[in-house]
Amino acid sequence: MIRIFKAEWRKLRRPTLLIGTLGAVIFFSGLVSSLLFLLLDSPSGNGDRGVVITRETLSLAGGATKAFSSVGGLLGIVALCVFAAQTAQEYTYGTLRNILVRQPSRIKVLVGKFASMKAFAFLMVLVSAIVSIGVSFVLAGGKDVSTALWFSADGRLEIAKTFLNVTISVIGYGLFGMILGLLLRSPISSISIGVLWLLIIENIVGALKASSLNWLPGNQFSSIASGGSESVSYTHALTFGGAYVFVGLFIAVVLFVRRDVAN
């Protein structure tokens, strides 16, 4: 399994993938953090879905993580694309057959690949946290937002909690992409359907019936990143998000073990 991890990590750290992915992470993290402070006095809101986040809120111990938690959904989309592509391309390129010659246990192959992609997701979240909190700190002074409590004992605890929540959320999104990759065995189809569902279908369904967002998987993962919301509690999001992942992963693993390796 260690060899599978190293082999997968070698692919993940290719400059085209690594630099491109981390570049997107840095861009989105910086953009969301900047808009949170630059639109601080905007009547249309400066948070997700037009939510107004005030100076008083940003001056609290958890103020440093407001932008970081908001970028969790975008990081999740990036993770979904990476996980889906890395899983499905083994079928497209026909490399899975060669891997199974060296390691016949399909479960070990799957666990090793997931462990490597999870480490990659952790790196994404770490870079995002540094950029987001750094940009927030730089912009706070110009908007008269106090940062005195940001790095106190309570502030550091809030940063740790948010980092954990965003990591869980991003890995949840990534697992969703991995499941699609195992089911569809095509990178393009897996990424297209995943992004279409999370960015368009869930928003349309939510616009038609707002209460449906309480049960849709993408909203559960997003709520985990923010530590819960007014409509979806953290416990609810963690329970149902985990249930979606468990059921989907169970079906995907059974198919992965039993189906032929050819696409």
Q: pLDDT tens-digit profile of 169-197?
A: 999 999 999 999 999 989 999 999 999 99
Better pLDDT: 48 or 96:
96
What integer pLDDT is reported at residue 144 of this predicted model? 84
Buried b (16+ CB within 10 A) or exposed e, 140-173: beeeebeeebbeeeebeebbeebbebbbbbbbbb
What integer pLDDT is reported at residue 49 of this predicted model? 66
Better pLDDT: 22 or 143:
22
15: buried, middle or exposed (CB in 10 Å: 19+, 13-18, 0-12)? Answer: exposed
Backbone Cα Rg of the chain: 19
Q: pLDDT tens-digit profile of 134-154?
A: 999 999 888 888 888 999 999
pLDDT band at 93 (very low <50, low <70, confident <90, very high): confident
Furthest-apart CA pair in the chain: how many Å? Answer: 62
Better pLDDT: 172 or 213:
172
CA distances from 75 to 29, 134, 139 (A): 9, 17, 22
Q: pLDDT tens-digit profile of 28-75?
A: 999 999 988 888 877 776 667 667 788 888 888 888 898 899 898 899
**Cα–Cα distance, 112 to 152 (Å, whole number):** 38
Q: Residue 132 CA to chain centroid, in angstroms?
A: 15
Domain ranges of the chain: 2-258
Does residue 58 contact residue 108 with C-beta atoms inside 8 Å?
A: no
